Structure 1
Amino acid sequence: MKLDILVFGAHPDDAELGAGGTIAKEVSRGKKVGIIDLTRGELGTRGSAEIRDKEAANAAKILGVEVRENMEFADGFFVNDKWHQMEIIKMVRKYRPEVVICNAVDDRHIDHGKGSKLVSDACFLSGLVKIDTQLDGDDEWQQPWRPKRVYHFIQWKNLEPDFVMDVSGFIEKKTEAILAYGSQFYDPKSKEPETPISSKNFTDSVIYRARDLGRLVGVEHAEGFNVERYVAVDNLDDLI
């Protein structure tokens, strides 16, 4: 299956938090979008890997993505080495996306920056013809594929975006997908330990960041992204 957009997140819920509005909007435009989680989030203070598997599946249905896979890398301990890069290359070549979106280039959680660089490096390597890969159980060698663009969503840290995506009208869908992770976010009835993302303030912050970015560009809500090369436009009317 060829996808238009492939979104990578170090943990289940990263894609929703960083780019949920963008995913929902692109799906509504007829784009084929997929999500790949690098880990099952098994080191998370709240919930469990099994619970998060179910939550991720529910969030994927809400967003309407074509496919969601989990690489089952070791939460907290995966590294940017040849083995991990080769596994990501297989996914890039499997789905042949035009655009890849992945974790923030710098963030509070160590997996976010690691995941960002791992995916970015693998996207480049995926285009090299002398790197041979096969999917498990497949006799055919995969063809090289390099996405045209790699973008990085913004997470905990308030990084300065290189561009913002107007997601007005899709913030409710983003919020619904985030709240599908009931084990992770604000629940006044929960008896689990508090974490930096379990407070109501954190959930609210996702919305007011989108509102503030939207305010700065004259729309209702927006999500911010960083780029790896200059953003180019065909004409000035492309800007909003």
Structure 2
Amino acid sequence: MKPTPMSPSDLPATLLAFGAHPDDIEFGCGGVIARETQSGRPAHFVICSRGESGTNGTPAERTAEAQKSAALLGATCEFLNLGGDAHLTHTVAHALQLAAIIRRLRPQIVLAPTLVENQHPDHVIVGRLVRDAARLARYGGVAELRETPAHAIASLLFYAITPDAEPADRSALLIDISSAVPAWTAAMEAHTTQLRTRNYVELQLTRARVNGLRSGVAHATALFPNDPLVFDSLAQLARTARQF
């Protein structure tokens, strides 16, 4: 007996991740992406520059690395021109561009860099733009967005690309990514130009290992909700990270 094909309404919504630079998503939350795509959820990256101001790698090299890395994680990707690496600005026009993407893809969960100031300024700007875009996408009367129906996401979750970017004012949501570590590692290693001077792969794997030890699993990634999470009942709650 053949299985009944799923209707479009039964398919999981696309996981939408925004990054300022060609490697941000992979280093910051690539394990989460791999975990979700392995479970059958489609994922799409929106990369807001091509690394034009980076110390290592040309824009063409970094674009190719990002495309390869996304494919290794089971995701698709697109690039935006918002002024270029180190020139991103927080404007209504840019937020509307991101809101249009949210309306086009209609995700339930959106990932973006944290808003902590002590990191690359482009990370903060993209995080703010995504936060604004998620709201603008909901408003049916926005003239610039009337070509597509309004859409409200379920959750905006922030990821920290570096340890310094982890917010101190909110609790983390820890995602068990243990099964996704091989795919995540391969995706990070695809960014060869960025590994010329620093071992970012070891840094991210070590962070995930510490989070895993905290929560009783091999590896975990911390995400930070923009808003309080809502559960239908206590039965949906899993364990906490208190292991010591």
Q: TM-score by structure 1 length?
A: 0.87
CA distance in 1 between counterparts of 2:174 and 2:96 reads 31
Q: Does 1:37 align with 2:47?
A: yes
Q: Which residue of 1 aligns with 2:141?
A: 130
Q: Which residue of 1 aligns with 2:228?
A: 230
The one-character-per-residue Cα deviations of 1:135-180 (angstroms, maximum 9, x if unpaired) are: xxxxx81111121110000121152552111101111211110111
Shift of 1:83: 1.1
2:151 is paired with a residue whose SS is coil
CA distance in 1 between counterparts of 2:140 and 2:194 reads 41
Instruction: Return the letter of the residue paired with 1:73.
Output: L
- Give the one of 216, 219, 234 matched to 1:218: 216
- Give the one of 163, 175, 185 matched to 2:173: 163
- Give the one of 195, 204, 207 matched to 2:205: 207
**Contact 1:8 1:102 (8 Å CA) reproduced:** yes
Instruction: Give the ranges of 4+ consecutive aligned residues of structure 1 lying more than 3 Å apart after TM superposition.
Output: none
Q: 1:142 to 1:64 in 2, by over 3 A?
A: same
Q: Paired residues, what number?
A: 222
1:1-240 matches, cutoff 5 A? 3-65=13-75, 67-74=76-83, 75-106=85-116, 107-133=118-144, 141-156=147-162, 157=164, 159=166, 160=168, 161-186=171-196, 198-200=197-199, 202-233=200-231, 234-236=233-235, 238-240=237-239
Listed as ranges, the gaps of 5+ residues in structure 2 are 1-7, 240-244
**Contact 2:114 2:165 (8 Å CA) reproduced:** no
Listed as ranges, the gaps of 5+ residues in structure 1 are 135-139, 187-197
Bigger CA drift: 68-77 or 22-31? 68-77
Shift of 1:226: 1.0
Instruction: Indicate the RMSD between aligned Cα atoms, in angstroms.
Output: 1.8
Instruction: Return the letter of the residue paired with 2:122.
Output: D
Instruction: Return the letter of the residue paired with 2:59.
Output: A
CA distance in 2 between counterparts of 1:49 and 1:142 reads 31
CA distance in 2 between counterparts of 1:10 and 1:236 reads 37
CA distance in 1 between counterparts of 2:229 and 2:150 reads 25
The one-character-per-residue Cα deviations of 1:98-122 (angstroms, maximum 9, x if unpaired) are: 0100012214101111110111111
**Contact 1:3 1:34 (8 Å CA) reproduced:** no
Percentage of identical aligned residues: 26
Shift of 1:3: 4.2
**Contact 1:132 1:142 (8 Å CA) reproduced:** no
Instruction: Return the letter of the residue paired with 1:32.
Output: P
Bigger CA drift: 94-103 or 229-238? 229-238
CA distance in 1 between counterparts of 2:62 and 2:142 reads 34
CA distance in 2 between counterparts of 1:178 and 1:78 reads 24
